[in-house]
């Protein structure tokens, strides 16, 4: 019997719970979430409703349950020190300690780490602690364009990109000064142009094992329009690549992650145990790093975990014991398309407490619950991304068709992006990369 403590209540954690539940070991899941996720609840022996950063509540629950190990889904509890607290009471996690979780929670730490250890992938960047040299650096970036990053976890809201959120240098400097005032540090960097992709890797501190590559869609509406969201959907091809990427691109990204894992240990004396999720961008001059996350991506987890052939409990235990090199981690060669169904008005003004009904979902689709409440008479929207529909098939065309049918089946005040995973959107990505690489 393996008792596992799972922290987080989104669709990503529903996918984690399902992967744990598929284990050949007998598994009991003990869940902690800010609200009840009906999918996780159905798979768990006990469910504590508590803030996922409430160290005291989680400690008490963990002392009572005495799990064999823990998995922490979201970034906030990692930054808040939940993994550290668990280790203090001798519970190991397949998630990183705070010190190495800085890979996600501090953008300056990660940029400086790559620079110090001479790892490829940084754009032109500078970390500022005061305004000295700020104007000059913005002048240097004129022409290339700039990005200003508040240094901390801001739920994706701290990054402002010229052309999207900031007009000109004057705007950029103003926002950089705001960030300095706010937390005493700001990262200013060159704006990169290309196609973004996500490469998640299991890491035991010394060994890294890569998952299928996927691409998220941050904008709320079709054609990559509208406000930024937590991610409206993702796709990944049957060869675990993306149609606009070469094998070399993925090898380059994988090498960055391997080197960063090594550098992290040298720098901190602490092994990174968990998932290193690199947000990369392939540009005219090769693969660059946008950012690292210290956890599974959401929705990216839904492209990888359902394809896992290897026992996920074994993988978590190997991450913890440092034995990842001893197991073969395999994924089915299937294409996946994930489409999130979200409330009308999401992300700025979402409707809440409205009922939704999931209609007929075709075979080959996995349904993962996120921000929905299970009432006596059905599911109710809670305001954030509601349900993830994942089509799994031999090729992208079929996977897209399945995810689309499932997303459309949901009745209620909701929307999704019909274009995610379609040929026409993917063709645009391919053409963009052809023109960048050729030009």
CA angle 120, 139, 130 (to 5 degrees): 80
Residue of the chain from 22, 59, 191, 428 that contacts ligand AMP (CB under 6 A): 191
Nearest approach, Cβ of residue 5 and ligand GLY (Å): 21
Nearer to ligand GLY, 258 or 295 (CB): 295
Question: Bridge-partner residues for 197, per DSSP?
Answer: 280
Nearer to ligand AMP, 83 or 159 (CB): 159
Residue 186 as a binder of ligand AMP (CB under 6 A): the answer is: no
Interface with ligand AMP by CB under 6 A: which range of 155-163, 254-262, 350-358, 408-416?
Answer: 155-163
Question: Bridge-partner residues for 210, per DSSP?
Answer: 201
For residues 21 and 28, give the distance between their C-alpha atoms in angstroms, rounded to a whole number: 8
Interface with ligand GLY by CB under 6 A: which range of 123-131, 168-176, 254-262, 295-303?
Answer: 295-303
Q: At what angle do helices 98-105 and 107-116 cross, to 10 degrees?
A: 100
Question: Bridge-partner residues for 164, per DSSP?
Answer: none
Q: Which does 396 bind (CB under 5 to 8 A by kind): ligand AMP, ligand GLY, none?
A: none
Residue 153 as a binder of ligand AMP (CB under 6 A): the answer is: no
Nearest approach, Cβ of residue 156 and ligand GLY (Å): 7
Residue 297 as a binder of ligand GLY (CB under 6 A): the answer is: yes
Chain centroid, CA 142 distance in Å: 31
The Cβ of residue 22 has, within 10 Å, a number of other Cβ atoms equal to 14
Q: Per CB under 6 A, which of residues 281..340 are in contact with ligand AMP?
A: 290-291
Residue of the chain from 231, 233, 343, 350 that contacts ligand GLY (CB under 6 A): 231
| Residue matched to tokens 């007998």 | 26
Coil, strand or helix at 190: strand
Chain centroid, CA 395 distance in Å: 23
Q: Distances in Å between the alpha carbon of 230 and those of 127, 256, 284, 362?
A: 26, 25, 27, 26
Residue of the chain from 103, 119, 192, 261 that contacts ligand AMP (CB under 6 A): 192
Residue 74 as a binder of ligand GLY (CB under 6 A): the answer is: no
| Nearest CA-CA partner of 5 in 264, 320, 309 | 320
Interface with ligand GLY by CB under 6 A: which range of 168-176, 290-298, 310-318, 344-352?
Answer: 290-298
Note the residues at the interface with ligand GLY (CB under 6 A): 216, 231, 293, 297-298, 300
């Amino acid at each position: 019997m393996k008792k596992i403590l799972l922290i987080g209540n989104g669709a990503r954690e529903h996918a984690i719970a399902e992967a744990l539940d598929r284990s050949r070991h007998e598994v009991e899941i003990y869940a902690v979430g800010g609200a009840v996720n009906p999918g996780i609840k159905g798979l768990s022996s006990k469910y504590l409703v508590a803030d996922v950063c409430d160290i005291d509540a989680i400690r008490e629950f963990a002392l009572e349950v005495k799990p064999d190990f823990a998995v922490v889904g979201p970034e906030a509890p990692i930054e808040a020190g939940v993994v550290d607290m668990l280790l203090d009471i001798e519970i190991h996690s397949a998630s990183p300690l705070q010190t190495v979780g800085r890979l996600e929670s501090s953008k300056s730490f990660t940029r400086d780490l790559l620079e110090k250890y001479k790892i490829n992938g940084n754009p032109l960047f500078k970390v500022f602690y005061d305004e000295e040299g700020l104007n000059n650096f913005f002048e240097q970036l004129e022409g290339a364009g700039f990005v200003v990053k508040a240094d901390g976890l801001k739920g994706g809201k701290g990054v402002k990109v010229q052309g999207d959120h900031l007009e000109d240098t004057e705007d950029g400097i103003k926002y950089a000064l705001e960030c300095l005032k706010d937390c005493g540090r700001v990262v200013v960097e060159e704006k990169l142009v290309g196609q973004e992709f996500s490469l998640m890797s299991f890491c035991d501190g010394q060994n890294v094992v890569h998952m299928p590559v996927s691409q998220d869609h941050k904008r709320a509406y079709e054609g990559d329009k509208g406000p930024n969201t937590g991610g409206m959907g993702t796709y990944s091809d049957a060869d675990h690549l993306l149609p606009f990427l070469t094998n070399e691109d993925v090898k380059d990204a994988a090498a960055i992650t391997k080197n960063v894992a090594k550098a992290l240990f040298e720098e901190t004396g602490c092994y990174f145990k968990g998932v290193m999720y690199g947000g990369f961008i392939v540009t005219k001059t090769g693969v660059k790093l946008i950012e690292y996350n210290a956890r599974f991506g959401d929705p990216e987890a839904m492209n990888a975990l359902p394809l896992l052939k290897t026992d996920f409990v074994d993988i978590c235990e190997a991450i913890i014991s440092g034995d990842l090199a001893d197991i073969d981690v395999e994924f089915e060669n299937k294409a996946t398309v994930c489409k999130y169904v979200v409330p009308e008005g999401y992300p700025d003004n979402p409707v809440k407490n409205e009922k939704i009904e999931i209609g007929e979902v075709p075979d080959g689709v996995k349904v993962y619950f996120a921000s929905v409440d299970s009432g006596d008479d059905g599911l109710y929207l809670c305001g954030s991304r509601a349900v993830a529909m994942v089509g799994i098939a031999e090729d992208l065309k079929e996977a897209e068709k399945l995810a689309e049918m499932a997303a459309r089946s949901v009745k209620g005040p909701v929307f999704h992006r019909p274009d995610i995973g379609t040929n026409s959107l993917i063709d645009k990505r391919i053409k963009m990369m052809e023109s960048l690489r050729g030009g």
